[in-house]
Structure 1
Amino acid sequence: MSDYSIQEFLEKTQRKAAGGSFSLQSSRILEINLAGQIWAKMGSMISYTGEIKFERERAFEHGVERMFKKTFTSEGGELMKANGRGKLFMADQGKQITILDLDHRKITVNGNDLLAFEPTINWDIQMMRKVAGMMSGGLFNITLEGEGKVAITTYFEPLTLLVKPGDPVYTDPSATVAWSGHLTPEFHTDINYRTFLGRGSGESIQMKFEGDGFVIVQPGFETE
């Protein structure tokens, strides 16, 4: 049904009561009950109530080392800081949102798929040296660790693959959303004369995960 009276539409789409710091108003809209500060992807705010101020991440806000990574490796996403008290609503191009409670665990997230995280979480840019020159635009990833909530985004329903010793998992870099923080992916190439002749599968670069952990992938992604 897509034909509503005004009252029916309001009842169907109005904000639902939510609890906790992070909650979902729908599978594609994140609500943050802000009472202090959070970090979020630049441009992800769609609405808010209360007294909230937004500020772009300053060049040296997180130290010289992180600024060096962002400037000289082209790795690192644009972050904004939201300060204040109120209800903050966030989204990212209609992508599906998943809220994760780290509970003192570590996870690495593709920078394009990280929506927001609480300030109690320690984070750093994960340098992907081997990808330089292999993919246009490269990749940047952010490792998060500690206690607090993290919101990630995916195109449609995510799939989690378990990585076991002796049984590596290979993924398309563009489809790879996140993985266990202690895993270190390697880039595996499958380039032969068919690739250069335009007859290959197109999957000439893959990420290879070995060890004991998990990898989260998505079934859709943007292509250049």
Structure 2
Amino acid sequence: MGRYSVDEFIEMTGQKDLGEGLFELERDRMLELNLNGRVWTKRGSMVAYLGDVKFTREGVLEHGVGKMLKKAVTGEGVSLTKAEGQGKVYLADEGKKISILKLDNDSIFVNGNDLLAFEDGINWDIKIMKKVTGMLAGGLFNVKLEGTGMVAITTHYDPLTLKVTKNRPVFTDPNATVAWSGNLKPDLKTDISLKTLVGRTSGESVQMAFKGEGFVVIQPYEEIPFQAAPPS
């Protein structure tokens, strides 16, 4: 296994049209966009393209001063690129697994680092979650997507979705939290006992608390540590 002739390798790994439309999983870690118009993508995620496609970094004032200021605060974590034209575009992000979600007049929050691509007709806005000043340096930065269309998200390994009900809230590690339903507004909380036990002021001592009715997507990996502010 793992040894092939050149022709065998080309046949085994070659691109195949699956007829799935605009967003197509060419591999579980590579997304193919069958582009005929415009799609928003994570900056730096393009690995190849065919056809007549133009890539433009999001215009600073294109979506208003509010989003411009939020982007200035959040930095590169939610930088977007427009892919416009006709052709095939291949996207990937550090070998992370890709999931395609079809929104049907829905809304969802996605961690800024875990958003790979979304259709042009979907409304989006950057949300800064900083309910407790100083708990997490800089806060948590997410993108709210709403409307109808496809969204591609990424996870390290296989995602797990937990249902949130009125009788069963869900608590997650911010670094392992990928996405959640648009109707939920998580709180940040500290666990003093864990902080004391672990002897640090980050990681499990800070949690996201989801209460109400909805869902939360997590991954078996702690991504981009959100460092807590040092004690005064």
Q: In the alignment, is the contact (CA less than 8 A) between 1:76 and 1:125 conserved in 2?
A: no
Question: What SS class does the counterpart of residue 104 from structure 2 fall into?
Answer: coil
User: Partner residue of 1:167?
Assistant: 168
Please, which moves more after superposition, 204-213 or 187-196?
187-196
Q: Describe the superposition over 1:173-200 as per-residue Cα deviations: whole angstroms up to 9, x where unpaired.
A: 0100000101000001012596387279
Unaligned runs of 5+ in 1: none
CA distance in 1, matches of 2:202, 2:129: 24
The residue that corresponds to 2:196 in the other structure is: 195
Comparing 84-93 with 71-80, greater Cα deviation is found at 71-80
1:210 to 1:124, Cα distance in 2 relative to 1, 3 A: same
- Confirm or deny that 1:92 pairs with 2:93: yes
The answer to which of 137-146 and 166-175 deviates more is 137-146
Report which stretch shifted further, 50-59 or 127-136. 127-136
Show the counterpart of 1:80. 81
Counterpart-to-counterpart distance in 2, 1:160 and 1:124: 23
C-alpha deviation, 1:64, in angstroms = 1.1
C-alpha contact 1:36 1:84 (8 A) present in aligned 2: yes
Q: How many residues align?
A: 224
* SS of residue matched to 2:66: helix
CA RMSD of aligned residues (A): 2.1
Task: Tell me the residue number matched to 2:150.
Answer: 149
Asked if the contact 2:194–2:205 (Cα under 8 Å) also holds between the matched residues in 1, the reply is: no
Contact persistence 1:195–1:201 (CA under 8 A)? no
Distance in 2 (CA, whole Å) between partners of 1:60 and 1:139 is 23
Asked if the contact 1:75–1:139 (Cα under 8 Å) also holds between the matched residues in 2, the reply is no
Question: 1:68 deviation in Å?
Answer: 2.2
Distance, in Å, in 2 between the alignment partners of 1:42 and 1:75 is: 8
Q: If the length of structure 2 is used for normalisation, what is the TM-score?
A: 0.90
Give me the identity figure in percent.
57
What are the Cα deviations for residues 95-151 of structure 1, in whole angstroms up to 9, with x where unaligned?
Answer: 000000001111110010000000010111112122553234532101111111000
**What CA distance in whole angstroms lies between the structure 1 residues aligned with 2:165 and 2:185?**
13
| Matched ranges for 1:1-224 at <5 A | 1-19=1-19, 20-72=21-73, 77-130=78-131, 132-136=133-137, 138-192=139-193, 195=196, 198=199, 202-222=203-223, 224=225
Quickly say closer, same or farther: Cα 1:53–1:194, change in 2 above 3 A: closer
| Cα distance in 2, alignment partners of residues 53 and 197 from structure 1 | 49
Provide closer, same or farther for how the CA distance between residues 132 and 200 of structure 1 changes in structure 2, counting only shifts above 3 A: closer
Aligned partners of 2:173 and 2:203 also within 8 Å: no
Alpha-carbon distance, 1:67 to partner:
1.2
CA gap 1:192/1:43 in 2 versus in 1, 3 angstroms? same
The alpha-carbon distance between structure 1 residues 131 and 79, as it changes in their structure 2 partners (threshold 3 A), is: farther
The TM-score, its normalising length taken from structure 1, stands at 0.93
**Amino acid across the alignment from 1:186:** D
What stretches of structure 1 move > 4 A for 4+ residues in a row?
72-76, 199-202
CA distance in 2, matches of 1:199, 1:55: 42
* Distance of aligned partners of 1:76 and 1:217 in 2 relative to their CA distance in 1, 3 Å threshold: same
Q: Call closer, same or farther: CA 1:111–1:199 in 2, change over 3 Å.
A: closer
